Amino acid sequence: MAGNKDGDERVIAAAQQILKSLGTSKNVKEDMILILSNFDNRLSAVTDLLSGGSVEERLAAAEEVVLGWSSDPNSPGDSTAYLSAVDEILKLMEDLSVDGEFTDRAENVLHLALSKLEDEFRHALVRNTVPLDAETICASVQSQRFSLSFHSNDCVIEDSEDEEGASCDGDERGGNLGDLAVDLIKPDVIDDVRDIAERMIRAGYEKECSQVYTSVRGDVLDKCLLVLGVEKLSIEEVQKIGWKTLDEKMKKWSTAVKVVIRVLLSAEKRLCNRIFVGSEMIGDSCFSEISKGCVMQIVTFAEAIAVGQRSSERLFRILDMYDALADVLPDLQALFLDDSGRYVCEDVQGVLYLLGEVAKGTVLEFENVVQRETSRKPIQGGEIHPLTRYVMNYVKLLVDYTDSLNLLLANDVGDSNGLQVGHNDDDCNDNDNNLHTSDGSPLARCLVSIMASLESNLEDKSKLYEDKAMQCIFLMNNILYIVQKVKDSELGKFLGDHWIRKRRGQIRQYATTYLRASWTKVLSCLKDEGIWGGGSSSNVSKAALKERFKNFNLSFEEIYRNQTAWKVPDPQLREELRISISERVIPAYRSFLGRFRGPIENGRHPGKYIKYTTEDLENFVLDLFEGNSGVAHYLRKKLSG
């Protein structure tokens, strides 16, 4: 329409110049008017002006255009002529403020004209809306090389050895969508829509104009939210959703928030500014009304999550939601610079606070969850406990939210709630990436406390094994697993080298205790004391010697049967334990056998007492800690042979 207006003005100017050039001949003027009228029906208003028609004639001409107009897209009329007719009626209304002879008629015509214009306004907005499906939105986002995924969107905390699979794509969590330009309606009709809005507002129909605009655009935003996976649900409906489905909805919500605020609402704001140019207050009011429903739908879901059941498994989705909302809050505030949308920002800030409180409470409660885990079934073979795997996966993911958690946990962790930070904080001194753990950041202290709870629980669970040696194997396996996960992740920057060294020292202590608990009895059979007869060092008691070999065989076989079923998953620790056993047992057996095999071999049935060579024992030691009791068949075969 803007182009048509400019063309009309040029035609009018040309017509006036032509008339001036032709002189004042009435006949010539009328002939020229007739020619111009036949040239373009858009000049009907112009011909009335040039002919100097009466008020009645001008009103009749405008009325004819209004009555003949149809906003049916299948029967398009001349919108320029229609708008010109509306302009003429408005001008006549101003003139008739003095001469009211035709006022009622003009008002009726204007009311009819504006009613049709309101329909056209609605139709123009609806039929020229650009469909924003998921593919269109994602294409717009991908064109800016922005990842819509969040760091833990696809993470699952599992009891598995391969935790590396728990890390997720999404290093661009802080990507910026603010520069994306999305066309909400077809660009070539924006001027037409603006022209209609301008007439409606000038005629005093700003309320009707606003209602039509907010209704149409609000419906469009609702559909966009649905496309993005954000359904219109009440708090009660959200709280009835099962976790698997809810998890997916929370994931989509975190993605949708950035798209809605930074893409859709930003584009909606620009569209309002273009359509309601010169009527900023009306434009701001329309934008606020449109945004209210959209933002409230977002807020309602977040509020339902915040007031719902707390659980450790929900924490990372809640942190994703918190980060997403905190990230776009400045963008939202920038969209509402006046009082009209202040309440929208206040609602978002309120639910952001609730999400933060839930996240903080869940993290602090997690320590108690770890401490109170009371499964009483010993893990077969002394392997790594599922609790250990779960907690280590969990705390590794906590580090991904360092900034948010340090903010949320400030003043809520420390000596006041019983955390034993002590020397651990002092020794966790690593300033990489500005992680000053020496001064006890909130997250660092929280992690120290969680790890202490885990270690305490593992110590209790080790007592489920009656065998002291088995207790040591269980603790070695679990502590080494913890150390490896700390050392190979960002956790090391929080807990520090001293913390790691201390746990490695504990592993060595448990290894020493294991050797003493398992092999002391075996080694005692290989001592000289008590096998000499008659008090002479040259006389060997064959009976005592046979008893020693018999006891050695029984003790070694019992250990073999048991400890081939024990499992040490770490190959280095497994090898170190085997070497330690061999260094203690094999030389002692070799020496004992070398000194005392003669009396046995010279007697009856020597194979009954000297069952194994040193090479046999070395091979048997290699079977230990494989977690496979089936290898004992080799020993049984040896015995039966």
Condensed to tens digits (0 to 9), the pLDDT of residues 296-341 reads 999 999 999 999 888 888 999 999 999 999 999 999 999 987 776 7
Give me the pLDDT at residue 499, please. Answer: 93
Whether the per-residue pLDDT at 98 is higher than 60: the answer is no
Q: List 180's β-bridge partners, or say none.
A: none
Give me the pLDDT at residue 340, please. Answer: 66
**Who contacts 533 (Cβ-Cβ below 8 Å, separation ≥6)?**
539, 540, 541, 544
Give pLDDT tens digits for 104-118: 787 788 888 888 888
CB 454 within 8 A of CB 478: no
**Who contacts 75 (Cβ-Cβ below 8 Å, separation ≥6)?**
none
> When comparing pLDDT for 100 and 221, which is higher?
221
Q: What share of the chain in percent tops pLDDT 70?
A: 73
Q: List 334's β-bridge partners, or say none.
A: none
Whether the per-residue pLDDT at 103 is higher than 80: the answer is no
Binned at pLDDT 50, 70 and 90, residue 185 comes out as confident
Binned at pLDDT 50, 70 and 90, residue 635 comes out as low
Query: In this structure, is the dihedral angle defined by the CA atoms of residues 91, 94, 96 and 98, taken in order, positive or negative?
Result: negative
CB 347 within 8 A of CB 295: yes
Question: HSE on the CB side for 597, CA within 13 Å?
Answer: 12
CA 362 to chain centre: 16
Give me the pLDDT at residue 586, please. Answer: 96
> When comparing pLDDT for 40 and 285, which is higher?
285
Closest among 297, 302, 301, 233 to 265, alpha carbons compared? 297
Q: How many CB atoms lie under 10 A from the CB of residue 126?
A: 15
Give me the pLDDT at residue 83, please. Answer: 83
Give me the pLDDT at residue 151, please. Answer: 34
Question: HSE on the CB side for 160, CA within 13 Å?
Answer: 9
CB 447 within 8 A of CB 491: yes
User: For the ranges 280-289, 447-456, 467-476, 617-626, which has the lowest average pLDDT?
Assistant: 280-289
Give me the pLDDT at residue 44, please. Answer: 47
Three-state DSSP state, 76: coil
Alpha carbons 191 and 271: distance in angstroms, whole number? 11
Question: HSE on the CB side for 213, CA within 13 Å?
Answer: 33
Whether the per-residue pLDDT at 427 is higher than 50: the answer is no
130 — phi, psi (to 5°)?
Answer: -80, 125
Q: Is 604 left (phi over 0), alpha (psi -120 to 50) or beta?
A: beta
What pTM was estimated for this model as a whole?
A: 0.75
Mean pLDDT score, 566-589: 96
49 — phi, psi (to 5°)?
Answer: -65, -45
Whether the per-residue pLDDT at 403 is higher than 80: the answer is yes
Give me the pLDDT at residue 130, please. Answer: 83
Mean pLDDT for the chain? 79
Binned at pLDDT 50, 70 and 90, residue 23 comes out as very low
3-state class percentages of the chain: helix first, strand second, coil last, to nearest 5: 75, 0, 25
> When comparing pLDDT for 336 and 164, which is higher?
336
Give me the pLDDT at residue 349, please. Answer: 94
Q: How many CB atoms lie under 10 A from the CB of residue 537?
A: 8
Mean pLDDT score, 15-21: 46
**Who contacts 359 (Cβ-Cβ below 8 Å, separation ≥6)?**
315, 318, 319, 322, 404, 405, 408
Q: List 185's β-bridge partners, or say none.
A: 129
Mean pLDDT score, 584-609: 88
Binned at pLDDT 50, 70 and 90, residue 135 comes out as low
Whether the per-residue pLDDT at 80 is higher than 60: the answer is yes
Give pLDDT tens digits for 265-285: 999 999 999 999 988 889 988
Mean pLDDT score, 147-173: 38
Alpha carbons 166 and 156: distance in angstroms, whole number? 6
Alpha carbons 391 and 413: distance in angstroms, whole number? 19
Alpha carbons 488 and 402: distance in angstroms, whole number? 17
Closest among 503, 456, 505 to 483, alpha carbons compared? 503
Binned at pLDDT 50, 70 and 90, residue 179 comes out as very low
* Burial label, 209 (beta-carbon count in 10 A; 0-12, 13-18, 19+): buried
CB 259 within 8 A of CB 266: no
**Who contacts 395 (Cβ-Cβ below 8 Å, separation ≥6)?**
447, 450, 451, 491
Give me the pLDDT at residue 621, please. Answer: 96
Mean pLDDT score, 1-6: 47
Mean pLDDT score, 424-438: 39
Binned at pLDDT 50, 70 and 90, residue 384 comes out as very high
**Who contacts 546 (Cβ-Cβ below 8 Å, separation ≥6)?**
600, 603, 609
Give me the pLDDT at residue 640, please. Answer: 46
Looking up tokens 């009891």 gives 159
Alpha carbons 436 and 232: distance in angstroms, whole number? 44
31 — phi, psi (to 5°)?
Answer: -65, -40
Closest among 243, 259, 233, 298 to 150, alpha carbons compared? 259
Binned at pLDDT 50, 70 and 90, residue 599 comes out as confident
Mean pLDDT score, 378-398: 95
How distant, in Å, are the alpha carbons of 176, 224, 421, 508 from that of 474? 48, 54, 26, 13
Mean pLDDT score, 574-603: 92
Alpha carbons 556 and 362: distance in angstroms, whole number? 50
